């Protein structure tokens, strides 16, 4: 993998990508955040050596380099999922590339189903911990010490300093946020009522099909992570309703304005 990462990094540097202040992964329904970026370079995933190609509606499939709130950022306009057929090593390959390009700070966003009875559709949840129940692991197999250690400390998967910073911004801007634990399942099916019940019993607040593998790989390489979920459906006891990908995308739009304010101010003021 090391050689493939180096090849991809070399290609992107030739295109004008340089060390950014932040890497940002834009999840389902959250791609509009790219409108706030002054774009200098945009490359479709299909043109990038060794990159997977997103197959999910709503994931545009571009790697973007530009300026957001005065800081240089690389944004992934669409991500890769286990349910698309990628192994987690393949799905998280771009995180390796971001790090070798010089990214230290990673912002990951997603749409998620809420199982906390205090949550509402459209809520923004700051992830403070996670549980991985995808039947694969991005670090499974031989370890390459050039990326990171064999056994990775995960006592702080989401940076406490980053969480405190975005909480302060939300308070100042009077934007309602939640905090909670995110659980990742393989998908692509949405959860059954019994599965939602399991997620609640495990003590988590939201469930989705992404993010955790990316954060694991980021921590393997010593990156700092901020995780944000938009609650797009609810899996509360006795209140599980029909849900679709289109409905999730529409629900995610409820939080776009507030999320844009939070991310822009965070990027602009976090050191």
Instruction: Give pLDDT tens digits for 197-216.
Output: 999 999 999 999 999 999 99
Q: What pLDDT, on the 0 to 100 scale, is given for residue 29?
A: 59
Contact indicator for 45, 54 with CB cutoff of 8 Å: yes
The per-residue pLDDT for range 104-117, each reduced to its tens digit, is: 999 999 999 999 99
- Give dist(CA 260, CA 267) in Å, integer: 11
DSSP secondary-structure letter at 130? E
Tens digits of residue pLDDT in 154-179: 999 999 999 999 999 999 999 999 99
Positions of E strands within the chain = 22-26, 38-44, 62-68, 71-77, 105-114, 124-132, 177-184, 206-208, 224-234
CATH number of 2-269: 3.40.50.1580
CA 58/CA 67 separation, integer angstroms: 23
Distance of CA 39 to the CA centre of its chain: 20
**Helix, strand, coil content of the chain in percent (nearest 5):** 35, 25, 40
* Most confident stretch, 74-78, 154-158, 189-193: 154-158
């Amino acid at each position: 993998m090391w050689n493939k990462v180096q090849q991809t990094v070399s290609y992107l540097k030739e295109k004008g990508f340089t060390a950014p202040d932040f890497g940002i992964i834009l999840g389902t329904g959250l791609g509009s955040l790219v409108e706030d970026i002054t774009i200098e370079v945009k490359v479709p995933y299909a043109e990038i050596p060794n990159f997977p190609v997103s197959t999910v509606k709503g994931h545009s499939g571009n790697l973007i380099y530009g300026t957001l709130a005065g800081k240089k950022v690389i944004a992934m306009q669409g991500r890769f999922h286990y349910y698309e057929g990628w192994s987690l090593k393949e799905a998280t390959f771009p995180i390796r590339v971001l790090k070798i390009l010089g990214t230290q700070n990673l912002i990951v966003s997603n749409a998620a189903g809420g199982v906390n009875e205090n949550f509402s559709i459209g809520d923004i949840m700051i992830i403070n911990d996670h549980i991985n129940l995808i039947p694969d692991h991005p670090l499974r197999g031989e370890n390459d010490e050039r990326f990171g250690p064999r056994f990775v400390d995960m006592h702080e998967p989401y940076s406490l300093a980053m969480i405190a910073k975005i909480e302060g911004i939300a308070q100042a801007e009077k934007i309602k946020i939640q905090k909670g634990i995110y659980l990742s399942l393989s998908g692509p099916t949405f959860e059954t009522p019994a599965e939602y019940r399991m997620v609640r019993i495990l003590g988590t607040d939201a469930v989705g099909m992404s993010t955790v593998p990316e954060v694991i790989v980021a921590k393997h390489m010593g990156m700092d992570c901020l995780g944000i979920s938009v609650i797009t459906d609810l899996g509360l006891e006795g209140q599980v309703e029909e849900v679709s990908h289109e409905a999730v995308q529409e629900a995610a739009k409820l939080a776009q304005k507030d999320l844009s304010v939070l991310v822009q101010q965070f990027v602009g003021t976090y050191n």
